[in-house]
Structure 1
Amino acid sequence: METYESRQRRPPLQLQQLRYLITTAECGSVRAAAQKLYLSQSSLSVAIRDLERELGITIFKRTSRGVSPTDEGLEAISYARQIVDQADLMLSRFAENGESEVRFAVSSQHYEVVVEAFGDLLDAHAERACHLTLSETSTIQVIRDVHDHRSSVGVIYLNDYNEHVVGRSIESNGLEFRPLFIARPHVFVRADSELAKKASIRPEELSAMTRFAHLQGTEGSAYFAEEPLADLPCHSHVALSDNGSLARLLSEHDGYNIATGIYPSDRGIVPVPLETDEIMKVGYLIRQDAATDALREEFLDLLCAHCASHEPMIKPCDEVLERTGRLQA
């Protein structure tokens, strides 16, 4: 067993080593990573081998096609990202003049209320130096971002279908889900389509249409889909990572997307209620061990105000009512 004295004699890990590790994992090859880092391939290889020796594990499997992380390597890379992100946060937290820099990050599925609240936060701190980040991304990436401290808040939805799988991922990552509002699924269709004239749409009416959905990366399971009823039969399936692109294509083609019903009315698409017993419970994620964060609380107050403004399209949960002063004892 390694003693305290032997640990003290080991050279300390350097941030630069961890940055090399992360870049190599992202590039998938030492050669490509070395080019990106402006290093010689041999220098980077030595740095990685030194790090493997210091940690006592094999981080990468070497093949003729490049490198891929081992199971222990994946864990080491996850820790490296957290350490580097926190170091960068500490270094940039204070501006050169000594004043605190406004720094805040949110990761979210694609919700208009999140964009609205984020815009209000930006306006509120317009006079200060800011480093604000809004990442609209996949469900699993939202969970990872909050777990890895890349974001203070994540926004996703749960329902009866996905909660046992997504909820397990939330719990295993040390996060807590707090509901914001309940919504009935709506079908978004082109404003001049025949379906847009209907009072409601039956699921079977969508089977001959193209479904537009938000890309979920390699986690393509229906449980992690951003849209409810992701396993409904459809003619074609189109996945996009950008909400603007999805809205544009949807406004120009005969297709549909299923969401909460909250969306600007000036983008050529309209929501029509879907005839289903499903409900969407939209809420936010924070770490279970999250410390008090004034910016996070400010953002959540703004987010709750925007959620409340969309009644009766949605039904606010207790936290929204409490933060907007409407919760009755």
Structure 2
Amino acid sequence: MQLQQLRYLITTAECGSVRAAAQKLYLSQSSLSVAIRDLERELGITIFKRTSRGVSPTDEGLEAISYARQIVDQADLMLSRFAENGESEVRFAVSSQHYEVVVEAFGDLLDAHAERACRLTLSETSTIQVIRDVHDHRSSVGVIYLNDYNRHVVGRSIESNGLEFRPLFIARPHVFVRADSELAKKASIRPEELSAMTRFAHLQGTEGSAYFAEEPLADLPCHSHVALSDNGSLARLLSEHDGYNIATGIYPSDRGIVPVPLETDEIMKVGYLIRQDAATDALREEFLDLLCTHCASHEPMIKPCDEVLERTGRLQA
């Protein structure tokens, strides 16, 4: 087994086609197919199901690809750590649902290391992908939320992937609406007032259920449902159309949308994920310190948990 074969495997999985992967890798299709079949023969499994439309991983293939990513990532880390110029490259990745505090902390981390060569990654993605990214070592930290509705299902996924959830803050759900709408003038909004409106939500992919939705009250009746993967696109469309999104209430005030408290007993517990076997990581700790500082700055919109209070020097014995 060669490292290059694992890179071929990962690229093929990402492209979903041997032909597309071969073009991306500057190989012939036959050479790539032979490399994959040799790896399948060595492992004793079928990694890809071949169809006229391309390839898709088998169950065993998904597991093999996950291991391949870990090996390649660790090899890349070794290369960057022991580069010929003797200078270590700053590498850090975080995966998250769509939270402004994460973007703020990530920006501060970028500023703190502006003078060094760095490879920093912020992936705003689906709940399931956040969990996978941390499990597969693609990200050092993941940020998601739990509540009474999803904590059993999502919690099992967190535990089965060898991860740990640590709370950052508790927030009451808020309804984001266009700043010049009638609902924006209200002191609070009842759930039933939203039934005739369009709901804007973050895309969770084909594997996501209501339990993995980024927003609480995912089964709330609505007139139409619009799903987007990009937070900026969601905010722009929401500022231009009559609709709503449910979130923590933290968002810049200059985007043309405003938060209004939702009348519900639901709460959102936002926290971060790390691997249970995670080794000490100075960059991860630096990012978490920055993240906790930004979380604390949004009181009283949110209620900080003990870790935020401790990292910001406010936890009382």
Q: Say whether the fold is shared (TM-score over 0.5).
A: yes
Structure 1 position 61, deviation (Å): 2.3
Does structure 2 retain, via aligned residues, the 8 Å contact 1:190–1:268?
yes
Q: Where do 1:289-328 residues align within 5 Å? A: 289-328=277-316
C-alpha separation between the residues in 1 aligned to 2:313 and 2:21?
52
C-alpha separation between the residues in 1 aligned to 2:82 and 2:199?
46
Secondary structure at the residue paired with 2:129?
helix
C-alpha separation between the residues in 2 aligned to 1:266 and 1:95?
44
C-alpha separation between the residues in 2 aligned to 1:51 and 1:14?
9
* CA RMSD in angstroms, aligned pairs only: 1.1
Structure 1 position 69, deviation (Å): 2.0
Secondary structure at the residue paired with 2:180?
coil
Structure 1 position 95, deviation (Å): 4.8
Structure 1 position 30, deviation (Å): 2.1
C-alpha separation between the residues in 2 aligned to 1:27 and 1:40?
15
Offset from partner CA, 1:11-30 (integer Å, 9 cap, x none): xx101111111122222232
Offset from partner CA, 1:80-139 (integer Å, 9 cap, x none): 111112212222234542122211111111111111111111111111111111111111
Stretches of structure 2 lacking an aligned partner (at least 5 in a row): none
C-alpha separation between the residues in 2 aligned to 1:263 and 1:66?
41
Structure 1 position 140, deviation (Å): 0.6
Structure 1 position 243, deviation (Å): 0.5
Structure 1 position 62, deviation (Å): 2.5
C-alpha separation between the residues in 1 aligned to 2:91 and 2:56?
33
Residues 51 and 184 (structure 1), Cα distance of their counterparts in 2 relative to 1, 3 Å cut: same
Structure 1 position 326, deviation (Å): 0.8
C-alpha separation between the residues in 2 aligned to 1:168 and 1:233?
27
Q: Residue 100 of structure 1 corresponds to which residue in structure 2?
A: 88
Alignment partner of 1:61 out of 49, 57, 64: 49
Structure 1 position 219, deviation (Å): 2.2
Does structure 2 retain, via aligned residues, the 8 Å contact 1:176–1:286?
yes
Offset from partner CA, 1:158-190 (integer Å, 9 cap, x none): 000000011100000000000000000000000
Offset from partner CA, 1:277-296 (integer Å, 9 cap, x none): 00000000000000001111
C-alpha separation between the residues in 2 aligned to 1:312 and 1:62?
54
Secondary structure at the residue paired with 1:142?
helix
Does structure 2 retain, via aligned residues, the 8 Å contact 1:214–1:240?
yes
Offset from partner CA, 1:243-276 (integer Å, 9 cap, x none): 0000100111000000000111011100000000
Does structure 2 retain, via aligned residues, the 8 Å contact 1:94–1:101?
no
Secondary structure at the residue paired with 1:123?
helix
Structure 1 position 44, deviation (Å): 1.4
Secondary structure at the residue paired with 2:187?
coil
C-alpha separation between the residues in 2 aligned to 1:81 and 1:123?
29
Does structure 2 retain, via aligned residues, the 8 Å contact 1:146–1:287?
yes
Q: Residue 10 of structure 1 corresponds to which residue in structure 2?
A: none
Segments of 4+ moved more than 6 angstroms = none
Stretches of structure 1 lacking an aligned partner (at least 5 in a row): 1-12
Does structure 2 retain, via aligned residues, the 8 Å contact 1:305–1:324?
yes
Does structure 1 retain, via aligned residues, the 8 Å contact 2:80–2:88?
no
Does structure 1 retain, via aligned residues, the 8 Å contact 2:200–2:227?
yes
Structure 1 position 63, deviation (Å): 2.7
- Shifted more, 225-234 versus 30-39: the winner is 30-39
- Shifted more, 194-203 versus 122-131: the winner is 122-131
Secondary structure at the residue paired with 2:254?
coil
Overall identity of the aligned pairs, in %: 99
Q: Where do 1:169-188 residues align within 5 Å? A: 169-188=157-176
Structure 1 position 31, deviation (Å): 2.3
Structure 1 position 217, deviation (Å): 1.1
Secondary structure at the residue paired with 2:222?
coil
C-alpha separation between the residues in 1 aligned to 2:238 and 2:151?
28
Scaled by the length of structure 2, the TM-score of the pair is 0.97
Alignment partner of 2:65 out of 64, 77, 82: 77
Q: Residue 262 of structure 2 corresponds to which residue in structure 1?
A: 274
Alignment partner of 2:155 out of 156, 162, 167: 167
Alignment partner of 2:138 out of 150, 153, 161: 150
C-alpha separation between the residues in 1 aligned to 2:308 and 2:54?
49
Name the count of aligned residue pairs: 317
